Amino acid sequence: MSTKEQVVTRHSFPVRVAHWLVVLSFLLLAISGLGLFFPSLNWMTSVLGSPQLAQFLHPVFGVVMVLGMVILFFGNVAHAFPEKGDGQWMMHMVDVLKGHEHEVAEVGQYNAGQKMLFWTIIGLLAILLVTGIIVWQPYFAPFFAVSIVRLCLFLHSLCAVLLIMAIFMHAYMGFWYKGTLRGMVYGTVTRSWAKLHHPRWLRQLEGKKK
């Protein structure tokens, strides 16, 4: 921690690189996936050149995203388990959204909402990965019955839509809470931000430094 600038380190460099790699691949996956799935959105595939190119690149970006997500997972999972105060945070969600979260519970590295979103993203990605491999033409799909491939296509599209909604919410929160985004960009957050949103995390961090 630098006392001069009053900032604390929140996200390491490898985690930040992995996060923005995941964001980039997610955007390319969402654009190509929506373009390939909905005939009316077919024009979106031109972002990647052509529908044929989009079909080829979509699973490749999927693999890149999963690799980035593995780093993000191991960089954050230790802080994603339920802790004391999470139930209280959930029950007072309205107060939290009104900006009184510091009065509700002493939040650690992540609040209960972030933890739930984290596991939702991981769960959806796991289903997307398995179903994505099964429907991957021409490499893996021929090994499976047509009915299985169809079911997986349905599950893959459903989970993709749910993931887009979850990420929309996650990104909105990142912008909504002023000072949060800089943690994922520069790696540091202000001490006052940490004290307001994650006081227990700050206390533990400063306790370790002493």
* Active site residues per annotation: 170
> Any idea what DSSP says for residue 2?
B
Residue 137 CA, distance from chain mean position? 27
114 in contact with ligand HEM (CB under 6 A): yes
120-to-85, 108, 167 alpha-carbon distances in Å? 20, 19, 10
Contacts of 167-170 with CB under 8 Å at 24 or more apart are 167/26, 167/121, 169/117, 170/117, 170/121
Scanning 15-23, 49-57, 88-96, 139-147 for contacts with ligand HEM by CB under 6 A, the matching segment is 15-23
Backbone angles phi, psi at 9, to 5 degrees: -75, 130
Question: Is 154 or 186 the residue whose CB approaches ligand HEM more closely?
Answer: 186
Binding residues for ligand HEM, total number by CB under 6 A: 19
Buried b (16+ CB within 10 A) or exposed e, 165-199: ebbeebeeeeeeeeeeebbbeebbbbbebbebbbb
Q: How far apart are CA 167 and CA 119, in angstroms?
A: 12
Scanning 93-101, 138-146, 148-156, 181-189 for contacts with ligand HEM by CB under 6 A, the matching segment is 181-189
Fill in the per-residue mask, 76 to 95: x = in contact with ligand HEM (CB under 6 A), - = not in contact. x-------------------
167 in contact with ligand HEM (CB under 6 A): yes
From the list 14, 99, 174, 179, which residue makes contact with ligand HEM (rule: CB under 6 A)?
A: 174
120 in contact with ligand HEM (CB under 6 A): no
Scanning 48-56, 90-98, 113-121, 148-156 for contacts with ligand HEM by CB under 6 A, the matching segment is 113-121
CA torsion 20-23-27-33 (nearest 10°) is 130
Residue in the shown chain whose Cβ atom is closest to ligand HEM: 174
23 in contact with ligand HEM (CB under 6 A): yes
191 in contact with ligand HEM (CB under 6 A): no
For residue 9, list its beta bridge partners.
Answer: 188
Question: Is 19 or 156 the residue whose CB approaches ligand HEM more closely?
Answer: 19
Q: Closest separation between CB of residue 183 and ligand HEM, Å?
A: 4
